[in-house]
DNA sequence: GACCATAGGTGTACGCCGTACACCCGTCAA
DNA sequence: TTGACGGGTGTACGGCGTACACCTATGGTC
């Protein structure tokens, strides 16, 4: 009796019924606040008030869970907007994808690693890419040209992220960082660049350079290049 | 006596003295053949004929080991070559970096994740970037313009790798892959593109599209864009 | 109403991981 | 001779993913 009562209470109050979506969204939330490395099945279960093995009734294993998380993220990207020309539609969509990636800093890493481990990207990613191709095609790109375009947009030419001066502030003062004069001696060009940038934007708080501006600059340079190609065909 | 003899034998024959470099290079070798996910301190130790904790006399912990591995890889990139103009020097260097990344498919993932976790990239990466900037500067780029250029080269505009059609062959025949007609219905544009590409290159074995060609196409498009910018300043 | 298949949550247990900590031994400077 | 020390060892701990057996409430069938 008593037992039944407490069970009923527990069931009524804190126990939403658990589902694949609930698992995925709390996983995303946990990753957002603690990073993917700190994400474990056990912690997800705990956050849901459930025993770890319960999760396996809704996702096959951790990799499949990561795939599901990717699909959640891709779902956050705005659908292609309206009837503008290809350039602005692509531009908006890419910027929307970027906003998503900034909201979930762990995203690019897991997309990278999961995509390499699978035979094919997850369905949501496929759909995203498909619609992207569709925009180019509707804009008059030949099949060949859109193939090139996808490679251009998907490649990172430098193998390494450009996030060099990303929030020098905001971290605890790293003990084994080089003193500035050593920096200047060892990496003269980086130093020159960093100083110029910092000076340029001395009014701006936070990161030494306006990443959003730089990203859009890169995007526009590339889209202009593609447009020129389109014109000459 | 006997014990000393066997010890001497063991010491003489299979026991090179162990060093940071030996640890790093066997770690790289193991990652090459089994992927980073399968790389563990215990396996590295085993490969070196040593107990796991022995490694910690040469690397502080696993993250620091990964950082060291990155530096090994970056060291494989050819130094800037000769006295050609900036465009060909950059081009050669980027292609050399790409060759390194293709030799070590796990590299981009660990560089990505480690760079995000550190206050600053590893020294070898810094040096690479510094010399890259130096090439642009020597080619007449203003500080501002080289800043833009680094962002252009370092950004991936699509958040997702373009490795869509990467070796459809060469994998075991994935059980839950969609049948072709379903593919065509759900992802019409991808299908169109894939078929066109496959047809184009039907003589070529392996991957449906020539990734090297596409990469160079993207690189040249970008470098041309930068050159145009340089001209108009 | 009796029955039983099934879906979904539980508990236990295994093997692997990174690594803290105490130890031990050979080398070499004083 | 001694004693510090660099480098390899052994043990142990807590956390991980997950296989497997179990329990229980639900709902369809006779």
Q: Same structural domain for residues A91 and A138?
A: yes
Query: Has residue B153 been placed in a domain?
Result: no
Beta carbons within 10 angstroms of residue B185's beta carbon: 11
Q: Is B71 on the interface with A (CB under 8 A)?
A: no
Most confident of A114-123, A152-161, B14-23, B90-99: B90-99
Contact B150, A162 (CB under 8 A): yes
Query: Has residue A227 been placed in a domain?
Result: yes
Cα–Cα distance, A203 to B220 (Å, whole number): 36
Looking at per-residue pLDDT, the higher value among A175 and B122 belongs to B122
Q: What is the domain-level CATH number for residue B50? A: 1.10.10.60
Instruction: Tell me the per-residue pLDDT of B134-170, one tens digit each, with 9 for 90 and over.
Output: 999 999 999 999 999 999 999 988 877 766 666 555 5
Alpha helices (H) in chain B, listed in sequence order: 2-12, 20-34, 41-47, 62-75, 86-103, 107-117, 123-138, 143-154, 180-186, 188-200, 211-231
Instruction: Quote the number of domains for chain B.
Output: 1
The residue lying closest to nucleotide C20, measuring its CA against C1', is B53
Please name the nucleotide lying closest to B42, CA to C1'.
C17
Query: Has residue A1 been placed in a domain?
Result: no
Mean pLDDT of B201-215: 74
Cα–Cα distance, B202 to B207 (Å, whole number): 10
Question: What domain range includes position A185?
Answer: 179-233
For residue B94, give how far its alpha carbon lies from the nearest alpha carbon of chain A (Å): 6
> How would residue B4 be classed by pLDDT, with cut points 50, 70 and 90?
very low
The yes-or-no verdict on residue A183 having pLDDT over 60 is yes
For residue B43, give how far its alpha carbon lies from the nearest alpha carbon of chain A (Å): 21
Least confident of A153-157, B151-155, B201-205: B201-205
CA-only gyration radius of chain B, Å? 23
Q: Is B199 on the interface with A (CB under 8 A)?
A: no
Q: Same structural domain for residues A116 and A65?
A: yes
Nearest to A177 among B120, B162, B226 (CB): B120
Q: What is the pLDDT at residue A4? A: 37
Contact B118, A176 (CB under 8 A): no
Domain end call among A156, A188, A221: A156
| A121 to B214: CB separation less than 8 angstroms, yes or no | no
Query: Has residue B88 been placed in a domain?
Result: no
Q: What is the domain-level CATH number for residue A74? A: 1.10.357.10
The yes-or-no verdict on residue B3 having pLDDT over 50 is no
| B115 to A177: CB separation less than 8 angstroms, yes or no | no
Q: Is A192 on the interface with B (CB under 8 A)?
A: yes
Query: Has residue A135 been placed in a domain?
Result: yes
Most confident of A167-171, B115-119, B166-170: B115-119
Backbone angle region of B49, left / alpha / beta, with phi > 0 → left and psi within -120 to 50 → alpha: left
Q: What is the pLDDT at residue A83? A: 86
Mean pLDDT of A170-187: 76
- Give residues lining strand D (CB < 7 Å): A 7, 39-43, 52-53, 56, 61-63; B 17-18, 50-54, 57-58
Mean pLDDT of A187-207: 79
Q: Give the rounded percent of residues in chain B with a pLDDT score beyond 90.
A: 67
Query: Has residue B25 been placed in a domain?
Result: yes
- Strand D: which nucleotides have any atom within 7 A of a protein Cβ? 6-11, 15-21, 25
Å from the A60 CA to the D18 C1': 10
Query: Has residue B93 been placed in a domain?
Result: no
Mean pLDDT of A159-180: 65
Q: What is the pLDDT at residue B15? A: 60
Cα–Cα distance, A86 to A138 (Å, whole number): 7
Whole-number Cα distances in Å, B128 to A48, A176, B148, B180: 45, 20, 17, 44
Q: What is the pLDDT at residue A200? A: 74
Average pLDDT, rounded, for chain A = 87
> How would residue B2 be classed by pLDDT, with cut points 50, 70 and 90?
very low
Please name the nucleotide lying closest to B54, CA to C1'.
D8
The yes-or-no verdict on residue A6 having pLDDT over 60 is no
Q: What is the pLDDT at residue A8? A: 35
Least confident of A28-32, A68-72, A133-137, A172-176: A172-176
Could you check: is the Cβ of residue B57 within 7 Å of any atom of nucleic acid strand C?
no
Query: Has residue A3 been placed in a domain?
Result: no
Q: Same structural domain for residues A183 and A128?
A: no
The yes-or-no verdict on residue A122 having pLDDT over 50 is yes
């Amino acid at each position: 009796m008593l037992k039944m009562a407490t069970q009923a209470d527990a069931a009524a109050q804190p126990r939403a019924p658990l589902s694949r979506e609930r698992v995925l969204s709390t996983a995303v939330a946990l990753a957002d606040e603690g990073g993917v490395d700190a994400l474990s099945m056990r912690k997800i279960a705990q956050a849901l008030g459930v025993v770890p093995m319960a999760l396996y009734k809704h996702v096959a294993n951790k990799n499949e869970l990561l795939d599901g998380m990717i699909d959640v993220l891709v779902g956050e990207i705005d659908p292609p907007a309206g009837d503008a020309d290809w350039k602005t539609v692509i531009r908006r969509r890419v910027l929307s994808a970027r906003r998503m990636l900034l909201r979930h800093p762990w995203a690019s890493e897991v997309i990278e690693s999961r995509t390499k481990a699978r035979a094919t990207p997850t369905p949501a990613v496929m759909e995203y890419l498909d619609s992207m191709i569709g925009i180019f095609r509707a804009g008059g790109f030949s099949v060949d040209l859109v193939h090139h375009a996808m490679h251009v947009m998907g490649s990172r030419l430098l193998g390494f992220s450009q996030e060099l001066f990303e929030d020098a502030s905001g971290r605890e003062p790293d003990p084994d960082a080089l003193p500035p004069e050593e920096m200047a001696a060892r990496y003269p060009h980086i130093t020159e660049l960093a100083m110029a940038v910092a000076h340029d934007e001395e009014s701006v708080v936070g990161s030494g350079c306006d990443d959003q501006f730089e990203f859009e600059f890169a995007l526009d340079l590339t889209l202009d290049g593609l447009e020129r190609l389109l014109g000459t065909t």
